[in-house]
Chain A
Amino acid sequence: MGAQLRVYKRRIRSVTATKKITKAMEMISASRIVKAQRAVAASTPYADELTRAVTAVATRSNAKHPLTTENPNATRAAVLLITADRGLAGGYSTNAIKQSLAISAKLREEGKEVVTYIVGRKGVGYYGFRNLAVANSWTGFSDKPTYGDAKAVAADLIEAFTAETGGVDELHLVSTEFVSMLTQTAVDARLLPLKLDEVELSDKSPAKNEIFPLYDFEPSAEGVLDALLPRYVESRIYNALLQSAASEHAARRRAMKSATDNAGELIKSLTRLANSARQAEITQEISEIVGGANALADASAGSE
């Protein structure tokens, strides 16, 4: 076998191995999207009931709560960015990071200091490499978040928000919304202070449009609000984590599908090249034999 042919054969083998890996990753992601979507669906009854309850308390009572009161001279804003722990998911993490940089720039223009919190190793890596300050980060659960994870993240943010001094006045959330298998969009939303007009149920209808019965609040409207608002923030963060996880799997599936397709194309063109290299070798061998035979024939004809 000629040198050229051997090189092609080796490259075909290596691309075939890569293709097997990307194909496996594609299929794993495809099965995890379904699970992640199911987790999103399983968390909506809780989120919806909680949203209704929060809206009911906030509209029925005149309770002033630090989590719903807007600070007119806000100076510090926290941004929570949700990214992936692992790469090979196309533009998934990059899009979320870009969105967070854009919202940070906007907040700075409004004269606010931005405090960044990050979920996911990719975001931590991006900010770390550029020496950007990060207040706190969490990693290790981006592809399968639990309610406990959301609670841990929310606890830190609520503490920063309610701190007497050195706290933040606003809390923004940057995550990736799972629109469909093919579309995932990086979105930002202001979690706190809570704007009642923007509170939505899972089907995107504003919660405020519902008519609530005249509840008796126990122990009191303020007490209920005190207990509910942190739960509401946790549930919003939990939902964002789940949506982002579904988006991550969908993005990875798409990226791996195109990698598998490209590997297939590459194998096809390399096989063509290897075939023509083999044919060229055969042609050369034949012409060498024919040439040699002719030379022999000429030599023996001359001696007679």
Chain B
Amino acid sequence: MAELHVELVAADRKVWSGAATIVVARTASGDTGIMPGHTPVLSVLETGPVTIRTADQGTIVAAVHGGFISFADNKLSILAEIAELADEIDVARAERALDNARTEADAHAARRAEVRLIAAGGLKAHH
């Protein structure tokens, strides 16, 4: 099966890189799935989970805040100011942050915490 090379990069570190068969990310115009041989694309990402189906049938979920993806020559770069893999996310802390954000009516912070929880929960669902 055809594969594409994925680099998930945060502002201060490289989070993940490897081969994948499909990557699904939330762009400004909705969820986009990128498979090998996709036309070159450069699009802005919303705060949301990114799902990577790896070449060895594994699944990687990451919470991504503020970034974009660029795909060309079968190489996909996912760039984000903050990117966390599902197993790095502190669920208790994200839940606390979500509560705080809701009481302070901070929609952005609430969305960030929600995405973290979705990403962390998505990982559990696959196990």
Contacts and interface: CB of A to CB of B under 8 A. Distances in A.
Contact of A46 (B10, B43, B66, B72): B10
B44 A53 contact: no
A46 B9 contact: yes
A216 B7 contact: no
Contacts of B9: 45-46, 49
B44 A223 contact: yes
B41 interface: yes
A43 interface: yes
A103 interface: no
B109 to A, nearest CB: 14
Nearest to B38: A216
B2 interface: no
Interface in A124-152: 146-147, 151
A231 B42 CA distance: 15
Interface in B72-95: 72-73, 77, 79, 81-82
Contact of A219 (B7, B39, B44, B77): B44
B96 interface: no
Interface residues of A, number: 30
B40 A215 contact: yes
Interface of A: prevailing SS:
helix
Contacts of B29: 218-219
A53 B29 CA distance: 19
Contact of B68 (A53, A213, A214): A53
A43 B68 contact: no
Contacts of A212: 72
B13 interface: yes
A247 interface: no
B42 A49 contact: no
Given A57-B42, A216-B41, A218-B41, A49 B28 contact: no
A224 interface: yes
A117 interface: no
B100 interface: no
A103 B77 CA distance: 37
Contact of A218 (B27, B66, B79): B27
29 contacts: A39-B12, A42-B13, A42-B14, A45-B14, A46-B9, A46-B11, A49-B79, A53-B70, A57-B42, A147-B82, A212-B72, A213-B73, A215-B41, A215-B42, A216-B40, A216-B43, A218-B27, A218-B29, A218-B32, A218-B44, A219-B43, A219-B44, A223-B44, A224-B42, A224-B43, A228-B68, A231-B81, A234-B11, A234-B81
Interface of A: 39, 42-43, 45-46, 49-50, 52-53, 56-57, 146-147, 151, 212-219, 223-224, 227-228, 231, 234-235, 238
